[in-house]
Structure 1
């Protein structure tokens, strides 16, 4: 009598059903993480580099480093 009260467990295709759910969930979580990284880290970093190199003068920077004695082969004048 007590066995009639409990529902029978699903024995077939249980792994496939659960795997489908978890694969879709993992896909959406990974796409969300990729979007967060792109718009939260990569794009601000690109903008910061573009802003830095907009007014960057490598020869002026070289002269400052040469005057400070950073380079051994280029002596200050």
Structure 2
């Protein structure tokens, strides 16, 4: 188990150098790495917003005395 965790932590530090090596192979590779980072970043941001909203909704009190009425036109 310790070997797995050691390899995982080491790969986290080695990953940026690997991405730079791949991106420096040519313009298409750089574009693909940038688009991949954009898609992953957008997915992480969307998940973070949804998770934060869920926590906020969980912590805010529910007002049962609120009455929902249709709008007058």
TM-score by length of 1: 0.44
TM-score by length of 2: 0.46
Q: Which structure would you say has the larger Rg? A: 1
